[in-house]
Amino acid sequence: MTTLWFFTGICIGGILGGLLYLSARREAVRLDEEKQHLEQEKQIVVEFMHSMVESVGEGLSRRDLFQRIVHAAVLSTGALSACAYERSADDQLRGIAVEGLFPPQRPLPGEGGSSAPATRAKLLEHVLRSENYALGETLIGSVAKSGQAVLIADAQRDPRVIVHADPSLVVRSLIVAPILFRNEVLGVLAVANPADERPFNEMDLSLVQSLAEQAALALHNVELMRMQIEKSRIDFDLAVASSVQGLLLPRSFPANASLEMDALYRPAQQVGGDFYDVFPVNGNKIGVAVADVSGKGVPASLLMAICQTNLRHFSRICESPAEVLRRVNREMVGEVPEKMYITIVYAIIDTERGEITLARSGHELPLLLHRDATSGHLRVDAVGSEGMAVGMVTPEIFDRVIVDKSVPFRAGDVFVLYTDGVTEAISADGSEYSTARLGDALKYLHQHTPKEMNQGILASVESFAGSGTPRDDITLVTVRHL
């Protein structure tokens, strides 16, 4: 009896040992297969990354890049069809790229399978690109809303999968993954039906998620490259506009033995909306203008150039500054874009008569520094004149409001035109530099040359406003009667 139990124990031990060996062998084979799958997935992802880098370098459009993503997903997973959906600014998901007979997420009108596969593929592509899904709507929208990938191994038993009458649109197995970059959903990638008719598994899900991650990075880089190209184009346009603007501003002043002049222009951006001009008018008279175009950048600089051209043209025809500005407004009122306008002061300095005649279209009041005839003290007076901005109202209104204003301009007097970038400069406590401070600076600098006065005023404004980027363009034109 003892011998029987002994041999029985040996047999049972041998069977258990064999079972343990077989189990260990199967586990080793499973681990080896998983390792092979991981290596394959790694290789696929690396190749996909390389393809995406090449796509970005080629400067493909977003649509073309999405199409490459879909094609690579089909090749990598062995799926029969795939579709990519792009998220729009209004949180809608729109089919942007498709490969194979990928089933739409809504029933097709008049479904049937009688048409040829090529025709059905074109129809499906049209349907997918015309339909929009809100976040949370259909399986595609749900994945976009949650940011979590979904694996549906047996799609025919899952109520979330739409069932079509066309047998070529039957979904056996499906993976839907969000295209995420830094927690922002850029779109959704979906693959359907493995070619070997086996269901997708967790390894397939991991692969699609990896492809979606790399696709998101490529899409971000494409957008970044597009922005860089756009910025370079804008920088180039600004450089050209700045050069043109520099050519328009006078480099020298008309010779006049009775006058000493200087102009200072400091744009807040690369291209500003201010301009000034000084030019001869009918013999010994000098035309001086300072203007401010609402807005900044290229549109303002182009409007400035048009205004300056018109100003010079009509100054040759009309002796009255008010009439010149009337004609400028008539010429430009239809050309000035909505919500844009031009404020301008145009003055004619007549040294023979010792007089300045000016007209003002909604601009800052010019200042006249002179000595009071009675007290002999220095005075700074604002030269008032009515008028509305160019391009803001019709000629009927503009022409009735604007008028000429004449003031004496004698030896020792200083005439200053400026833009609101000077008087509206803001200090740290929110105070404005103001016309009063500008007048005080003129009195303090009255013995200096116009160039030194402009530099002194600029230093005063910058000291008042403190460090930082100027809020507005600064323009000063100073004329001293010798």
C-alpha span between 319 and 190 (Å, rounded): 75
**What does the pLDDT average to over 266-279?**
84
Which residues are bridge partners to 98 per DSSP? Answer: 83
Residue 66 lies in a domain: yes
Distance separating alpha carbons of residues 216 and 189, to the nearest angstrom? 10
The one-letter amino acid at 316: R
| Residues 337, 190 share a domain | no
- Supply the CATH number for residue 264's domain: 3.60.40.10
6: in domain: no
Confidence (pLDDT) at 19 = 56
pLDDT, position 301: 76
Task: Give 302's Cβ-side CA count (13 Å radius).
Answer: 10
- Are residues 284 and 341 located together in one domain of the fold? yes
Q: Taking Cα atoms as reference points, which of 133, 138, 126, 124 lies closest to residue 86? A: 133
CA separation for the pair 270, 173 (Å, rounded): 58
Q: Is the pLDDT of residue 108 over 60?
A: yes
Is 80 exceeded by the pLDDT of residue 225? no
For the cut 60, the answer to whether the pLDDT of residue 399 exceeds it is yes
pLDDT of residue 222: 80
pLDDT of residue 443: 96
Same domain, 218 and 356: no
pLDDT at 241: 67
* 150 and 112 assigned to the same domain: yes
Tokens of 470: 């100027």
Least confident segment among 100-114, 153-167, 210-224: 100-114
Tens of pLDDT along 454-482?
A: 999 999 999 999 876 677 889 999 999 99
Distance CA 408, CA 418 (A): 20
Domain hosting 352: range is 249-481
29-65 residue pLDDT tens: 555 555 555 455 445 554 555 555 555 556 678 888 8
Say whether pLDDT at 447 is over 80. yes
Percent of the chain past pLDDT 70, that is, above it, reads 83
pLDDT, the chain, mean: 85
Average pLDDT over residues 421-433: 93
Number of domains in the chain: 2
Separation between Cα atoms, residue 202 and residue 208, nearest integer Å: 10
Measured in whole angstroms, the distance separating CA 341 from the mean position of its chain's CA atoms is 24
Residue 412 has pLDDT above 50, yes or no: yes
Q: Please tell me whether residues 188 and 254 are part of one structural domain.
A: no
User: 69 and 175 share a domain?
Assistant: yes
Positive/negative CA dihedral, 289, 291, 297, 298? negative
- Domain boundary pick from 225, 259, 277: 225
Please indicate, yes or no, if residue 425 is contained in any of the structural domains.
yes
CATH code assigned at 57: 3.30.450.40
With respect to residue 241, please indicate whether it lies within any of the assigned structural domains: no
Same domain, 381 and 435: yes
Better-predicted residue by pLDDT, 433 or 227: 433
**Tokens read off for 284:** 């010994």
Residues 166 and 308 in one domain: no
What mean pLDDT do residues 116-140 have?
Answer: 78
Q: Is residue 23 part of a domain?
A: no
Task: Kindly state whether residues 396 and 443 are assigned to the same domain.
Answer: yes
Between 266 and 273, name the one with better pLDDT.
266
Q: What is the pLDDT of residue 46?
A: 47
In a domain, 171, yes or no: yes
Q: Find the range with the poorest average confidence among 288-302, 372-386, 441-455.
A: 288-302
91 falls within a domain: yes
| Domain co-membership, 114 together with 199 | yes
Place of tokens 């097709």: 108
Least confident of 187-201, 215-229, 401-415, 460-474: 215-229
Three-class HEC string of the chain: CHHHHHHHHHHHHHHHHHHHHHHHHHHHHHHHHHHHHHHHHHHHHHHHHHHHHHHHHCCCCHHHHHHHHHHHHHHHHCEEEEEEEEECCCCEEEEEEEECCCCCCCCCCCCCCCCCHHHHHHHHHHHHHHCEEECCCHHHHHHHHHCCCEEECCHHHCCCCCCCCCHHHCCCCEEEEEEEECCEEEEEEEEEEECCCCCCCHHHHHHHHHHHHHHHHHHHHHHHHHHHHHHHHHHHHHHHHHHHHHHHCCCCCCCCCCEEEEEEEECCCCCCCEEEEEEEECCCEEEEEEEEECCCHHHHHHHHHHHHHHHHHHHCCCCCHHHHHHHHHHHHCCCCCCCCCEEEEEEEEECCCCEEEEEEECCCCCEEEEECCCCCCEEEEECCCCCCCECCCCHHHHHHHCCCEEEECCCCCEEEEECHHHHCCECCCCCECHHHHHHHHHHHCCCCCHHHHHHHHHHHHHHHHCCCCCCCCEEEEEEEEC
The pLDDT, as a whole number, for residue 464 is: 93
Q: What is the pTM of this model?
A: 0.60
Position 11 confidence tier, pLDDT thresholds 50, 70, 90 = low
Q: Is residue 238 part of a domain?
A: no
pLDDT at residue 414 is higher than 60 = yes
Out of 173, 193, 225, a domain closes at 225
Domain identity same for 99 and 168: yes
Instruction: Please say if the pLDDT value at position 383 is more than 60.
Output: yes
Q: Which of 209, 225, 241 is a domain's end point?
A: 225
Task: Report the pLDDT averaged over residues 93-104.
Answer: 89
Same-domain check for residues 214 and 148: yes
The pLDDT tens digits for 316-371 are 999 999 999 999 999 999 888 888 899 999 999 999 999 999 999 999 999 999 99
